[in-house]
Structure 1
Amino acid sequence: MKYVLLGSLGADWSKKQNKRTGSARAKLKALGIKLESVHYTQGAYDFVDVVDAPDAQAMLAFSVWYAQQGYGRIQSLPAFDERTMVSALKKAGARG
């Protein structure tokens, strides 16, 4: 399942950027989560990533682990491709 991660970094993130990215990539790999893209942003969130996780539990485990490290906070949003959305609309009886 693909997820979009919206991340907010801790106040002293620049002092531990290399440690944060290295350990986060290692934890993702250990949980079977594939990191597909990383984008740093300006505004409400500091980064937006796209990952492919084997299940919701793996994604939840990563989010909890990330917060425990003091790196900041992540919101994980399930991402649905167009085919899945069209199928859901049909099941819902939506017309369009």
Structure 2
Amino acid sequence: MKYVLLGSLSAEWTARHDERIASAKAKLDELGITLESNYYIQGAFDFVDVLEGEPEALLAFSVWYGSQGYGKVLTCPAFDSDTLARAVKNA
């Protein structure tokens, strides 16, 4: 399943970008999660990732990320337009 992860970085880890990224990518690999895209944004969040993986793996990653002190994340399931169309039909 696809997920959108919205993240805010802690001040400490903003300056340690390469170390944080290497650690996060290793954890994603360990959990079997694919990072499809990553963008740094302006506004309420600092970055947005599109990820694919099992729900429990994404939950584990979100908990792990915060426990490392990297910052906070909001993890949201993402649905394509065909899935939405089927849901609307069944509503």
Tell me the SS of whatever aligns to 1:70.
coil
Deviation at 1:45, TM superposition (A): 0.2
Higher deviation after alignment, 8-17 or 78-87: 8-17
- Distance in 1 between residues matched to 2:14 and 2:45, nearest whole Å: 15
Equivalent residues in 2 for 1:10-49, closer than 5 Å = 10-49=10-49
- Distance in 2 between residues matched to 1:87 and 1:47, nearest whole Å: 30
- Distance in 2 between residues matched to 1:61 and 1:28, nearest whole Å: 10
CA RMSD of aligned residues (A): 0.7
Higher deviation after alignment, 41-50 or 10-19: 10-19
Tell me the SS of whatever aligns to 2:18.
helix
Identity %: 57
Deviation at 1:30, TM superposition (A): 0.7
Tell me the SS of whatever aligns to 1:73.
strand
- Distance in 1 between residues matched to 2:12 and 2:51, nearest whole Å: 25
Equivalent residues in 2 for 1:1-96, closer than 5 Å = 1-53=1-53, 55-92=54-91
Across the two proteins, how many residue pairs are aligned to each other?
A: 91
Residue identity in the other structure for 1:78:
P
Q: TM-score, normalised by structure 2?
A: 0.96
Residue identity in the other structure for 2:28:
L
- Distance in 1 between residues matched to 2:57 and 2:39, nearest whole Å: 21
- Distance in 2 between residues matched to 1:14 and 1:8, nearest whole Å: 9
Unaligned runs of 5+ in 2: none
Residue identity in the other structure for 1:65:
W
Tell me the SS of whatever aligns to 1:43.
coil
